[in-house]
Structure 1
């Protein structure tokens, strides 16, 4: 349904929760928003609960979903986790990746996510041989998002080396195009469509030689496309960059023209005061992924300081240890409470903005993430009568959403005016758990 009327029992309108809101939809966009409607107009779709703008998952590696429940066994570090991740990546083909991503994106829709930023670097066949269509893997992801009913920004990733000055290892050969110029040539063939936009990514400063960073940044700048980069996720990366270049990863990116308002650093965990000033002063965004950062024991990034310095915050589920953007928002605040032993670093409304409008902006969808005329008709409704959400006054809906609700409370997800999730069931992928189980099983070696 791309044209019609919705009646929202309660709706978060950015600075307040309003009861009885009528939203008119036409051509996939919101045409009008009217408050003060205590009963549904004739013929309106009724969404009972609290309706929010659609959630934006600003950082995803879809194939990492196959690791859930396996990499939690025993102990280890990010680097030992990475070896398990490589073993899963080795089994990906365009067909198996499409099946897995379709199921993962359907899981996201069930969690209220209407747009995903897919940080995509598994480009070629094992050993690095290109497929007949060099973008077969990226096209599989774009098609998977369409079939799951959500929007995607394919952040096609440049990944050229295993470390500073080192060639890719055998697992990484399928990630590499050989040079940033070859990466750019391949990306130039990718086409945007109604549900899909194309962005760029630098995997990390260790994976793209310093002399080639500007090529990737220039490609994104020429197209006015979003540019994302894993940044200072590990202290080992900082130490190696200092040894190779005599500076931090943030300074290296700044010196090669990577930072800026369309750039987002992912994680931004281990930063100096100068790094924070460089990121904030340039308007470079920060995508925090708290459930992955805690799962991998990465650390707690300086999100408060970054936002105060001028870095907009967004949220991602990254490795998909869980897929729950409300948990990511909650975890960002609660992590900061643990670190500082004080409460209330963000309001619930500010955390929801990170999960909605600011997340969409980081992915190049500035016209999404709000419930207002002209915005894309993407929204999600949370139950207010579950065991988690029953009790609080509806006017406290933002606080209930962030500090009590979760993905299990999503009842409806609408994308472009079309009901993708209705009454907690996906309308396009009939059995999401079975689809996930089958897709993960296909990747077991």
Structure 2
């Protein structure tokens, strides 16, 4: 049965169009007609844009939001935050993991994300031993995504070491650890388990601290065609430790000794030389930027302006899920560049809209990074779309509504459709009450326990 939407305006592949009828059937967009007349039975909506990918999430960290904002006895940093995160990760059981992830995915959908890249490294039981089904925790991620109705690119993480040179893992990392053979069995199990047409499988060597160069090469060779995600150069200490170990910075290792291409996504890549920045852009790899988390952790600023000038591509992710907001990720990305350069509209293309440039960049880079179909409102494309509602009735046209959504307060996400199913209406997820109730019980046990 075909569902017909009648949009005041829609962002089509060739630009904005008015009075657009969109036919949804079988999980795809069956027809697009611009300059049309509304028909009886059409669902009238405001401005429609393609669905956007959240390319980097650690769903379980959603339950930590706000719990690490007290100063410790020494200067706080990413590394002190990581110690707290490890202790938190040791407590979660599979039921709790699923409830927390489902809540995070509800909030992503309400924010306008229609696909998530789940960078998942919480694999084993609390004592570090594998579950009877070694994919138990990954299966809970799949179930949470299906329950919330979000498309998923699952990125199981290979984590074997605590530092460069294959150092033995620490006890706080015991739930993360695999050797190559065990990891290959995990991904084989997941290939069989991932049956939703919306879902994709990638791999994620955690970092060059947690996986050796040889292990990274072996993982990539064993998973041809899969997206490959890796944390890199997030902190200067990581860069310095890499140089001390091999004489090369971590991005230099990826560019010169491992080799990266368009199926790679380099998460953060904050601390770059000019040559590294140009090398990433030339490789076609996506820079996976998480501005809210990077600000929260004090990581630093990615050189976005120069990277885009180099022809680089980027996407955004919610990472630690301290705040799940697509508009905030895009806004802070731009605002960070403004603070650094002491200018305005830094990431706009030419004399165009900043909001438009940010959204288009996140659309294309996010889909590429997650191995997803091109995000577009066109016949045959997946029916993943976001409806924006102008709350004050100004009826702004074209990219102006994106500027007002990202940088203002009077445009909001109204509806979200994934695979042709409406999962958000009036800004609220269809199952929010049920999922939030389960999450609240889990959070009470984790925080008070």
Name 2:66's counterpart in structure 1.
69
Name 1:424's counterpart in structure 2.
427
| 2:364 aligned with 1:364 | no
Aligned positions of 1:196-275 closer than 5 A: 196-220=199-223, 222=224, 224-275=225-276
Name 2:294's counterpart in structure 1.
293
Partners of 1:256 and 1:197 lie apart in 2 by: 28
RMSD: 1.9
Pick which of 116-125 and 408-417 moved more: 408-417
SS in structure 2 of the partner of residue 206 of structure 1? coil
| 2:386 aligned with 1:383 | no
SS in structure 1 of the partner of residue 277 of structure 2? helix
Give per-residue Cα distances to partners, 1:313-357, cap 9 Å, x unaligned: 100011112111111111111111111112222232221123323
| 2:42 aligned with 1:44 | yes
| 2:14 aligned with 1:7 | no
CA distance 1:258–1:144, shift in 2 (3 Å)? farther
Name 1:443's counterpart in structure 2.
446
**Number of matched residues?**
434
SS in structure 1 of the partner of residue 260 of structure 2? coil
| 2:403 aligned with 1:402 | no
Q: For the Cα contact (< 8 Å) 2:255–2:279, is it kept in 1?
A: yes
Partners of 2:103 and 2:336 lie apart in 1 by: 30
Name 2:31's counterpart in structure 1.
32
| 2:349 aligned with 1:352 | no
Pick which of 211-220 and 134-143 moved more: 211-220
Q: For the Cα contact (< 8 Å) 1:17–1:398, is it kept in 2?
A: no
Aligned positions of 1:18-167 closer than 5 A: 18-37=17-36, 40-47=38-45, 49-74=46-71, 76-164=76-164, 165-167=166-168
Q: For the Cα contact (< 8 Å) 2:102–2:435, is it kept in 1?
A: no
Shift of 1:50: 2.0
Name 2:379's counterpart in structure 1.
373
Pick which of 149-158 and 418-427 moved more: 418-427
Give per-residue Cα distances to partners, 1:248-268, cap 9 Å, x unaligned: 101112344341110010111
Q: For the Cα contact (< 8 Å) 1:412–1:421, is it kept in 2?
A: yes
- Structure 2 unmatched ranges of 5 or more: 349-353
Shift of 1:404: 1.8
Give per-residue Cα distances to partners, 1:283-320, cap 9 Å, x unaligned: 11101100000011100011222233333110001111
SS in structure 1 of the partner of residue 378 of structure 2? coil
| 2:328 aligned with 1:319 | no
Partners of 1:343 and 1:78 lie apart in 2 by: 29
Give the structure-2-normalised TM-score.
Answer: 0.92
Partners of 2:365 and 2:33 lie apart in 1 by: 24
Give per-residue Cα distances to partners, 1:169-205, cap 9 Å, x unaligned: 111011011x233312321221232132110011111
Shift of 1:91: 1.2
Partners of 1:384 and 1:170 lie apart in 2 by: 51
Partners of 1:342 and 1:233 lie apart in 2 by: 25
Partners of 1:19 and 1:431 lie apart in 2 by: 37
SS in structure 2 of the partner of residue 87 of structure 1? helix
SS in structure 2 of the partner of residue 375 of structure 1? coil
Partners of 1:435 and 1:14 lie apart in 2 by: 40
SS in structure 2 of the partner of residue 280 of structure 1? helix
- Structure 1 unmatched ranges of 5 or more: none
Partners of 2:416 and 2:359 lie apart in 1 by: 16
Partners of 1:121 and 1:255 lie apart in 2 by: 27
Give the structure-1-normalised TM-score.
Answer: 0.93
Name 1:176's counterpart in structure 2.
177
Partners of 1:295 and 1:64 lie apart in 2 by: 13
Q: For the Cα contact (< 8 Å) 1:426–1:432, is it kept in 2?
A: no
| 2:184 aligned with 1:190 | no
CA distance 1:432–1:409, shift in 2 (3 Å)? farther
SS in structure 2 of the partner of residue 372 of structure 1? coil
Partners of 1:403 and 1:18 lie apart in 2 by: 22
